[in-house]
Structure 1
Amino acid sequence: MRRFYPIQPPVLQRRLSESHYQYREYMPSKVLESYVACYWALHTCAANGNALHRIIPDGCVDIIMDLQPASTAKGAFVVGLMTNYETMTLSAPISTFGIRFYSDKVSRLLRYPVSELAGNPVPLTDLWGRKGEILVDEVHSSEGISEIIEQVESILQTWLLNLDDFSHSLLPTFMQYIYANRGNTTVQALSDQFCYSERTVRRIFKEGLGISPKEMLDIIRFQYLLREWYDGNRTPFSEMALSYGYYDQPHFTRQFKRYYGMTPGEVLV
């Protein structure tokens, strides 16, 4: 099965990376790649001016850790699924490390439904208690990004070995089908493929992830389109939109602006 690689604006728009704004992504080990999409680090230096940080929906859930917090409780939190873009003006120096999880798999680690994460970020210690403190302490005591990732991977692998099997969940099965079709399918096709009613499919997504299957399809389709462009496909927008199932150019542009906050012409140049 082809792995889904979500993409964010600082990667897509290489020109965003300046001396005072640095965003980098790092791939997980083979052992964790079915759970972790990537690790990422964001560093800014306010002395050189404000930085605009844009975040777009990617079908993932993130654990975000401030590398220079006043306390563990304030310095680490979990962010659920996004369905619209967000922008933040970073006026003070920040140093942040994140773990981007696939939403259909992360509940096994969090022991908490993704659907309950909608809205405000949840402090990591509220979900994991002492385990969360241990993770953040290891990150803070590490020197450099390589050591941080090494420590995080070791902890996550140990925890996974001691967790119950979640194989009864249908969400990973549904999501693999969505990934295989690059998001370019329908709720009815998903229902037919696995012999569940559309109502049941909608309920499973709503209870498990807090969003509709149609919303997830749209997000994954959008992400695959961005990834294809990033990988070098320079097909005209109109043709690319049609190949991904958008009705027409206006439909593509509306959805692009909803998820990105900019037009295709402003981004894909």
Structure 2
Amino acid sequence: MRLFRPVQAPWLQQESDDSYQYTEYAPSFDLSAYVACYWTSSFQGGKARHHRILPDGCVDLIVSITDNNAQAFVAGFMNRFDVLPLTEPTFSFGIRFYSDSVHTLLRHHPADFGDGGIELELVWGNPAFEIAETIAQARDMKERIAVVEAVLRKKLDKAYRPERLFERCMGHIFANKGMLSVRKLAEMEHYSERTVRRTFAHELGVSPKEVLEVVQFQSLLVGLQQNVHARLADLALLYGYADHAHLSNQFKRFYGLAPQTVMAQIACQATNR
């Protein structure tokens, strides 16, 4: 079972309301080594708002659905936050893959996708259009997930195996919540730092240091949610930051907001429940 669970801003800050909904769904057990979650994001229209996306160490397959038409693309590893303006009604369905095992199902390196994304047809070929349309026309989430999981299980039959060094390194990163140096990571695998960096560039298109920082940030988010009244200095010590200033700077870089702002919002929501 995976110990790492990525966190996104709408879930963390419970931003759903009458016009905007963000929901996550767990995958079936046999796919849980590959899929972190399925998710939906919907905006009914009205007052414009924003959808914040955080770096989470994952790769997302996203189907944007309008009037039963669907456009599908794959977004690669993100190393910065993004904020999407919502002005028109929209509905999106996503599959959040773990970056160390996504190769098995997409048969591509995440480095091929970039964080801007590429069309699913370039990944899965002609069947991609039919798959996206079937997802769009599903009657409800239960049927939508069933369709997706049937496709994913077929993909597992022709599994592509990524480089073992990369998988092992990612395992160390997740197990240590990102609190490692690149040197220590290389030492754990008895490889040079240069080899580790080259492997990550080939597989993910980013450096191992960036991956370590994103996983460390994600681990911090989980801890922050569990203790919104903690002092930043204590959180910095617990999650491997040099000091609270280092924590704050990295948090702003990956979230776009100060940690105190997010903590206050979470605390307020907890009080109002």
TM-score with structure 2 setting the length: 0.92
What is the one-letter code of the residue matched to 1:52?
H
Change in Cα spacing, 1:60 to 1:2, as seen in structure 2 (3 Å) is closer
**What does residue 44 of structure 2 align with?**
45
Give 1:163 deviation, angstroms: 2.5
Give 1:121 deviation, angstroms: 1.6
CA contact (8 A) 1:2 1:180 kept: no
CA contact (8 A) 2:2 2:32 kept: no
User: For the residues of structure 1 that align with 2:255 and 2:53, how far apart are their CA atoms?
Assistant: 8
Does residue 1:77 correspond to 2:76, yes or no? no
Percent identity between matched residues is: 39
Does residue 1:247 correspond to 2:239, yes or no? no
What is the one-letter code of the residue matched to 2:7?
I
Change in Cα spacing, 1:101 to 1:7, as seen in structure 2 (3 Å) is same
**What does residue 66 of structure 2 align with?**
68
Deviations 1:56-81 (A, max 9, x none): 10011100001226855xx1001011
User: For the residues of structure 2 that align with 1:101 and 1:234, how far apart are their CA atoms?
Assistant: 32
Deviations 1:171-212 (A, max 9, x none): 221111111101111111111111011111111001110111
Change in Cα spacing, 1:183 to 1:265, as seen in structure 2 (3 Å) is same
- Among candidates 101, 104, 108, match of residue 100 of structure 2: 104
**What does residue 260 of structure 1 align with?**
255
**What does residue 8 of structure 2 align with?**
8
Unmatched runs of 5 consecutive residues or more in structure 1: none
**What does residue 59 of structure 1 align with?**
57
CA contact (8 A) 1:225 1:244 kept: yes
CA contact (8 A) 2:228 2:263 kept: no
Change in Cα spacing, 1:167 to 1:65, as seen in structure 2 (3 Å) is closer
CA contact (8 A) 1:49 1:91 kept: yes
* Runs ≥4 residues deviating over 4 A: 69-72
Deviates further, 190-199 or 222-231: 222-231
CA contact (8 A) 1:62 1:101 kept: yes
What is the one-letter code of the residue matched to 2:250?
Q
**What does residue 198 of structure 1 align with?**
193
Change in Cα spacing, 1:144 to 1:232, as seen in structure 2 (3 Å) is farther
**What is the SS of the residue equivalent to 2:78?**
coil
User: For the residues of structure 1 that align with 2:61 and 2:259, how far apart are their CA atoms?
Assistant: 29
Deviations 1:151-185 (A, max 9, x none): 11111012212324x16432221111111101111
Deviations 1:86-138 (A, max 9, x none): 10110000011000001111122222221121253201011111231232122
**What does residue 150 of structure 1 align with?**
146
**What is the SS of the residue equivalent to 1:257?**
helix
User: For the residues of structure 1 that align with 2:241 and 2:219, how far apart are their CA atoms?
Assistant: 13
Q: RMSD over aligned Cα, in angstroms?
A: 1.6
Deviates further, 257-266 or 62-71: 62-71
Counterparts of 1:111-150 in structure 2 under 5 Å?
111-150=107-146
Counterparts of 1:151-230 in structure 2 under 5 Å?
151-164=147-160, 166=161, 168-230=163-225
Unmatched runs of 5 consecutive residues or more in structure 2: 265-273
What is the one-letter code of the residue matched to 2:97?
F
Aligned residue pairs total: 264
